[in-house]
Amino acid sequence: MSGSSTIFRLLLAGCGACVIALTMAVTSCTILPAAVTLTDKLPRETDVPGWVITGRYRTSRMNRIRQISPVYAEYEPAEMAVAEYRRLSDETRAIRAELIRFRSPLDSFGLYGRERGFDPAGRFTGDDAYARDGSLFFRKGRYYLKIIGTNLGEEDTDAPGQFRSVVANNLEDRPGDGSLPDSLFIFSDGRSTRDIVHYKSGVDSIPGMKDVTLMRRVLAGKKHDIMYLKTATAFDAEQEFQKVMRNGEDFMLSNIGTLPTAVRIVSDHHCIVISHYKQWIFGVMDADTINEGNRLIIYLYGELKARLDRNKK
């Protein structure tokens, strides 16, 4: 009997230990915080008193993102989250918050700049935020936020900014997230992005060329839209230039001394002239005449060469 009692007690002690271990495991699982999703970075109702959430969703499916906007899909976002809000006191007043996470700061800037365009009517608060028509647009690192207001009243003037502040505080800062490539500023005296738009899929007027950047700036006393693109090697730049000649039937091959040019006459007072030098393709998108385009190409070439020579030192 004593032997049997000993075995029983050992079995009972073993079961008790298993129950304790299982209880501890379950308890430890329950205290682990849930993973934070992109949707969690959008304002909760407690963050924006007076507003109620009427719907929200998150997606990483490119087909769904393309349905929302084909332009979004051009910059290949990793995911996007959307939340819709209504004023508690007036259901006709609404705010839609869209937060999009990209794989690089250049892509988030690309969509931000693409939708902003060269908009003189936008009320800017720094290069990475502006307001227009009751809505607010904001970029931070790999993220792009849109706060779109509908039927907002005078008392709602500060609402988009309140929504933006909540999201900005929720976005984590990661080393390198805010940096844009130096190539974006090759024709800029500073690092302002306000007059720069990056087209990842290229522009229709120069077929076959991707990752084209446009800048609006003064050349020879007049504002012009210039284009530029940095390739991996000088050989790649030449190949891209030749591709334009093959894909764009309207482009004519020419030269300014030893500098090759491709010219497209769009209308009587509008022509495009592009060239290449080392790893760079550059040009002017809105010259009045071919002669003016050639003069601007010479100006840009001199500026580009001087900047590259300075960077060597």
CATH at residue 114: 3.40.1000.70
Note the pLDDT of residue 175.
59
Range in 117-131, 152-166, 201-215, 282-296 with the lowest mean pLDDT: 117-131
Question: Cβ(166)–Cβ(47) under 8 Å?
Answer: yes
Residues 6+ apart with CB under 8 A from 150: 93, 94, 95, 96, 134
Percent of the chain beyond pLDDT 70? 87
Note the pLDDT of residue 19.
42
The last residue of one of the domains, among 127, 144, 170, is 170
Confidence of residue 20 (pLDDT cuts 50, 70, 90): very low
- Tell me which of 152 and 16 has the higher pLDDT: 152
Note the pLDDT of residue 246.
84
The domain in which residue 105 lies consists of 39-170
Domains in the chain: how many in total?
2
Note the pLDDT of residue 5.
53
The full length of the chain comes to 313
Residues 192 and 293 in one domain: yes
Q: Is residue 61 part of a domain?
A: yes
Q: Is residue 8 part of a domain?
A: no
Residues 52 and 152 in one domain: yes
Note the pLDDT of residue 196.
96
Residues 222 and 291 in one domain: yes
Note the pLDDT of residue 125.
85
The last residue of one of the domains, among 170, 197, 230, is 170
Q: Is residue 193 part of a domain?
A: yes
Residues 189 and 307 in one domain: yes
Q: Is residue 161 part of a domain?
A: yes
Residues 149 and 263 in one domain: no
The closest alpha carbon to 303, from 234, 220, 232, belongs to 220
Q: CA-to-CA distance for 14 and 289, rounded, in angstroms?
A: 92
Token reading at 227: 């284009």
DSSP the chain: -HHHHHHHHHHHHHHHHHHHHHHHHHHHHHTSPPPPPSGGGSPPTTTSTTEEEEEEEEE--HHHHHHH-HHHHHT--SEEEEEEEEETTEEEEEEEEEEEE-SSHHHHHHHHHHHH-S-TT-EESSTTEEEETTEEEEEETTEEEEEEEES--GGGTTHHHHHHHHHHHHSPP-TTTT---GGGGTT-SS---TTEEEETT--TTSTT--SEEEEEEEETTEEEEEEEEE-SSHHHHHHHHHHHHHH-TTEEEEEETTEEEEEEEEETTEEEEEEEETTEEEEEEEESSHHHHHHHHHHHHHHHHHHHHHHH-
Confidence of residue 235 (pLDDT cuts 50, 70, 90): very high
Q: Is residue 197 part of a domain?
A: yes
Residues 201 and 308 in one domain: yes
CATH at residue 296: 3.40.1000
Q: Is residue 54 part of a domain?
A: yes
Confidence of residue 51 (pLDDT cuts 50, 70, 90): very high
Range in 15-24, 106-115, 157-166 with the lowest mean pLDDT: 15-24
Percent of the chain beyond pLDDT 90? 74
Q: Is residue 177 part of a domain?
A: no
First to last CA, the chain: 94
Q: CA-to-CA distance for 238 and 280, rounded, in angstroms?
A: 9
Q: What does the pLDDT look like over 102-137, one tens digit per residue?
A: 999 999 999 999 999 987 777 888 899 999 888 999
Residues 143 and 211 in one domain: no
Note the pLDDT of residue 176.
56
User: For residue 10, is pLDDT > 60?
Assistant: no
Q: Is residue 15 part of a domain?
A: no
Residues 122 and 192 in one domain: no
Question: Cβ(197)–Cβ(213) under 8 Å?
Answer: yes
Residues 217 and 131 in one domain: no
Residues 164 and 202 in one domain: no
Cα dihedral value 154, 158, 161, 167, nearest 10: -110
Residues 218 and 303 in one domain: yes
Cα dihedral value 175, 178, 182, 186, nearest 10: -170
The last residue of one of the domains, among 170, 193, 213, is 170
Residues 248 and 131 in one domain: no
Which amino acid is it at 34? A
Confidence of residue 17 (pLDDT cuts 50, 70, 90): very low
pLDDT averaged over every residue in the chain: 88
Note the pLDDT of residue 191.
87
Note the pLDDT of residue 304.
97
